[in-house]
């Protein structure tokens, strides 16, 4: 045990660095006037606890990091990224906004950008690609990728600590300040989101900004992806948004890119007076058509299969046939998840790609592993989360059976009150939309799913019987009208 041992000695450097593997730059601690006692060291009359070579405060910060939430995490297998030369317009738009380089001055003034899109639209891939480019260009402060199935990142508990950890790595001069703040308030990680943002991000960052006089740009972009996957409680998602509003009110430096599905409660929150004036919205399905990008992705992937698949010698000379790729791009409805699912199925090294493609196109019976298992699981999850799945399926039967059908007539046939359809479908805004008073699928593959008993499982309806029920109800409605 070392007790009251003065470290000054000419055979040792007066300044030593306490670091951990992988750190970018570690603040140095001058021990020339310090005393090391057990697991503590005393400097300038302040006693600090050291754990495994780190200040206790920084060690506690590290312990509260959700490693899988980082954009470059090794915990996530095959994380989604944009295919080369795709999504270039949307990525550039976000980069321009993050660096205040967009020509639209009104957009430049918005500190929060909401990137919303239907299920499988490629939001996470875009967010990850923006993060990688932003990191290279010195724009990125931190990221947090929520994941519903991961207990370390399906809640807000580790959000601020994970962001603070990343900021300390990007701006090493913040590290000692954040460390001291944690040591002064050991319960900081159990306090409110606002308190955590204030103490672990805003206060130290404000100090850096106040003392910054150089021409070097200080990074400002924070990416929060998958907000709709944060907890099953929608209140926590809204609370996080309103916390971000308070943060950008406290400092003009930070910019938040928030990515999620267009869930009804999030639409409501972003439309509220406190959020509307500070947020800019991009809806992938409306603002940026992805069909050309999906076509390019499919062409590249089919070329890779033809060049490198183990059974490439079994492929017909003209494979795929003309128009097949265009048809697949059309059926994707702007959703990259459909195209990616098709590619993963076809490129299986244990099967002939041409036979797998025929199964996709329903030209032959499916293999034991069904083509759209991942996509079907997504549809099933979203539909099962609504309050009344049975009535939802009753409503979706109309676009399945008849295509265009007036919402008012749907409500009459199903004996619903006026306006009920819009309310009942509010939680399905990532799959369907109501336009021109018609219910419309955002995914063309959703209809295929609902019509296939093997794929839909408990969500399947016998649509021949449903059509008969509609006819019976219409006859009853007409008879009642004439009898009156």
Q: Where are the domains of the chain?
A: 5-51, 67-287, 291-371, 385-483
Q: Which residue has the higher pLDDT, 10 or 97?
A: 97
> Maximum CA pair distance of the chain?
108
Q: Would you give the distance in Å from CA 12 to the centre of its chain?
A: 49
The residue to which tokens 């990532």 are assigned = 430
The pTM assigned to this predicted structure is 0.80
Rg of the chain in Å (alpha carbons): 28
Compute the distance between CA of residue 35 and CA of residue 42 in angstroms, rounded to an integer.
5
The dihedral over CA atoms of 195, 254, 63, 229, expressed in degrees to the nearest 10, equals 90
Q: What's the residue count for the chain?
A: 484
**Domain 385-483, CATH class in plain words:** mainly alpha
Alpha helices in 347-435 (DSSP H): 353-360, 373-384, 389-402, 407-413, 420-424
**pLDDT tens per residue across span 254-291:** 999 999 999 889 999 999 999 999 999 998 864 446 88
SS3 34: coil
Burial of 188: CB neighbours in 10 Å, binned 0-12, 13-18, 19+: buried
pLDDT confidence tier of residue 16, bands split at 50, 70 and 90 = very low
Average pLDDT value for residue range 24-28: 40
Compute the distance between CA of residue 424 and CA of residue 308 in angstroms, rounded to an integer.
48
Q: Which two tokens stand for residue 235?
A: 């209140």
**pLDDT tens per residue across span 282-323:** 988 644 468 889 999 999 999 999 999 999 999 999 999 999
Instruction: With a cut of 60, say whether residue 39 has pLDDT above it.
Output: no
Instruction: With a cut of 70, say whether residue 324 has pLDDT above it.
Output: yes
- Assess if CATH 3.30.565.10 describes domain 67-287: no
Compute the distance between CA of residue 136 and CA of residue 227 in angstroms, rounded to an integer.
25
Instruction: With a cut of 50, say whether residue 23 has pLDDT above it.
Output: no
Average pLDDT value for residue range 134-145: 96
Burial of 163: CB neighbours in 10 Å, binned 0-12, 13-18, 19+: buried
What pLDDT is recorded for position 52?
Answer: 60
Compute the distance between CA of residue 30 and CA of residue 380 in angstroms, rounded to an integer.
59
Instruction: With a cut of 50, say whether residue 21 has pLDDT above it.
Output: no
Compute the distance between CA of residue 431 and CA of residue 449 in angstroms, rounded to an integer.
12
What is the dihedral sign for C-alpha 415, 420, 426, 429? Answer: positive
SS3 160: helix
Phi, psi of 222 (to 5 degrees): -120, 130
Whether 56 contacts 49, CB under 8 Å: yes
Instruction: With a cut of 50, say whether residue 19 has pLDDT above it.
Output: no
SS3 212: coil
Compute the distance between CA of residue 471 and CA of residue 413 in angstroms, rounded to an integer.
9
Average pLDDT, the chain: 86
Whether 228 contacts 147, CB under 8 Å: no
Q: Measured between alpha carbons, how far is residue 243 from residues 188, 198, 219 in Å?
A: 16, 10, 21
DSSP secondary structure letters along 201-217: IIHHHHHHHHH--SSSP
């Amino acid at each position: 045990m070392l007790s009251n041992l003065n470290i000054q000695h000419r055979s040792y450097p007066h300044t030593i660095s306490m670091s951990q593997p992988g750190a970018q730059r570690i603040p140095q601690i001058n021990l020339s006037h310090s005393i090391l006692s057990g697991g503590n060291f005393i400097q300038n009359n302040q006693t600090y606890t050291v754990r495994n070579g780190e200040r206790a405060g920084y060690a506690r910060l590290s312990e509260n990091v959700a490693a899988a939430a980082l954009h470059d995490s090794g915990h996530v297998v095959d994380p989604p990224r944009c295919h080369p030369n795709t999504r270039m317009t949307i990525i550039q738009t976000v980069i321009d906004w993050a660096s205040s380089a967009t020509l639209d001055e009104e957009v430049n003034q918005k500190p929060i950008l909401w990137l919303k899109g239907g299920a499988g639209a490629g939001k996470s891939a875009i967010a990850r690609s923006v993060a990688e480019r932003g990191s290279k260009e010195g724009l990125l402060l931190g990221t947090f990728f929520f994941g519903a199935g991961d207990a370390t990142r399906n809640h807000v508990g580790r959000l601020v600590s994970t962001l603070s950890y990343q900021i300390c790595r990007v701006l090493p001069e913040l590290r000692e300040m954040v460390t001291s703040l944690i040591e002064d308030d050991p319960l900081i990680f159990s306090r409110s989101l606002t308190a955590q943002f204030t103490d672990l991000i805003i206060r130290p960052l404000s100090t850096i900004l106040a003392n910054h006089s150089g021409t070097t740009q200080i990074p400002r972009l924070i990416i929060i992806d998958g907000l709709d996957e944060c907890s099953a409680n929608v209140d926590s998602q809204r609370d996080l948004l309103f916390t971000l509003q308070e943060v950008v009110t406290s400092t003009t430096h930070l910019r938040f890119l928030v990515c999620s599905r267009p869930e009804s409660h999030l639409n409501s929150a972003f439309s509220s007076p406190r959020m509307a004036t500070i947020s800019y919205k991009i809806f992938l399905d409306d603002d940026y058509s992805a069909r050309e990008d999906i076509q390019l992705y499919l062409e590249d992937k089919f070329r890779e299969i033809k060049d490198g698949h183990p059974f490439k010698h079994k492929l017909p000379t003209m494979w795929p046939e003309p128009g097949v790729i265009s048809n697949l791009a059309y059926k994707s409805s702007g959703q990259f998840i459909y195209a990616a699912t098709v590619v993963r199925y076809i490129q299986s090294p244990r099967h002939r790609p041409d036979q797998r493609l025929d199964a996709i196109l329903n030209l032959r019976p499916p293999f034991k592993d069904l083509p759209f298992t991942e996509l079907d699981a997504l549809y099933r999850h979203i539909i099962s989360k609504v309050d009344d799945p049975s009535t939802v399926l009753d409503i979706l039967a109309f676009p399945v059976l008849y295509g265009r059908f007036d919402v008012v007539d749907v409500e009459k046939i199903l004996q619903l009150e006026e306006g009920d359809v819009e309310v009942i479908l509010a939680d399905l805004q990532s799959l369907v939309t109501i336009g021109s008073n018609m219910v419309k699928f955002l995914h063309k593959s959703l209809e295929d799913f609902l019509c296939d008993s093997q794929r839909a499982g408990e969500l399947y309806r016998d649509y021949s019987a449903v059509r008969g029920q509609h006819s019976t109800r219409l006859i009853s409605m007409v008879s009642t009208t004439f009898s009156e």
